[in-house]
Amino acid sequence: MKLAIYPGTFDPVTNGHLDILKRAASVFGTVYIAVAQNMHKNPLFTTEERIAMIQNCTSQYPNVKIDQFKGLAVEYARKVGASVIIRGLRAISDFDYEFQMALMNRHMNDNIDTVFFMPHEDYTYLSSSTVREIVRFGGNVSEFVPEIVKNELIRKLRSDE
Ligand code: COA
């Protein structure tokens, strides 16, 4: 059974990510959600908080594991014995960046392929930063993130109101 990793910053995880995960978990034997300790992005949530939220939303999948990584995704994939990197393609605007990253990753390790899933069309315009922004300005994100993520966003972003 093939092992795949699904890397991302997940700051926070959204229904779009979970949609990709559901599809990937039905195709691969095991999927590692690999939470990047991505300091360039200066995440709102700590790595531990991001992992806790993902754990809460993925307990129904026996073949999904959650981990964190630093450095190159291909290196992490090699370390855990994965032969596939999962990525989501939301719109054509994702393509250039994803194409470049997939080819560079393959250049670094030809044994690891990138497999793309398209999320449900309801989520094509969704991103973690959009969700953060909506909550920051008092909007409702119920249709974009699980309840627990919504509550965590409100706790973080509106605590000084
Ligand atoms: N649903 C909703 N949102 C989605 C989504 C989906 N299906 N897929 C992506 N997004 C959003 C993300 O939430 C993120 O939003 P944000 O920028 O507003 O926070 C945005 O789209 C970009 O997502 P993604 O491309 O997955 O970036 P990321 O920051 O989450 O993850 C890494 C990028 C960490 C996977 C990548 O940089 C990496 O592998 N880094 C390690 C170093 C490395 O190996 N680099 C590659 C060398 S070629």
Predicted TM-score (pTM) of the model is: 0.95
Q: What pLDDT does 143 receive?
A: 96
Ligand 1 atom at minimal distance to the Cα of residue 11: 19
Give, using CA atoms, the residue closest to atom 23 of ligand 1.
Answer: 8
pLDDT tens sequence across 122-145: 999 999 999 999 999 999 999 999
- Give the residue, by CA position, lying nearest to ligand 1 atom 26: 8
Greatest C-alpha distance within the chain: 51
CA separation, residue 105 to residues 29, 72, 76, 114, 159 (Å): 22, 9, 12, 8, 40
3-state secondary structure of 116: strand
pLDDT in tens, 78-99: 999 999 999 999 988 889 999 9
CA distance 127 to 12: 9
128 given a catalytic annotation: yes
Is pLDDT larger for residue 1 or for residue 115?
115
Q: Please, which residues have CB within 8 angstroms of residue 154's CB and are 6 or more apart in sequence?
A: 135
* Cα of 88 from ligand 1 centre, angstroms: 9
Active site residue 90: yes
In Å, what is the CA distance from 34 to each residue of 4, 44, 73, 83, 137? 10, 17, 9, 14, 30
| pLDDT tens for each residue of 11-65 | 999 999 999 999 999 999 999 999 999 778 899 999 999 999 999 999 999 999 9
pLDDT at 38: 72
> Is residue 157 lining ligand 1, measured as CB closer than 6 Å?
no
Walk me through the domains of the chain, giving residue ranges and CATH numbers.
Answer: 3-124 (3.40.50.620)
Q: What CA–CA distance (Å, rounded) separates 40 from 126? A: 21
Whether the CB of 68 sits within 6 Å of ligand 1: no
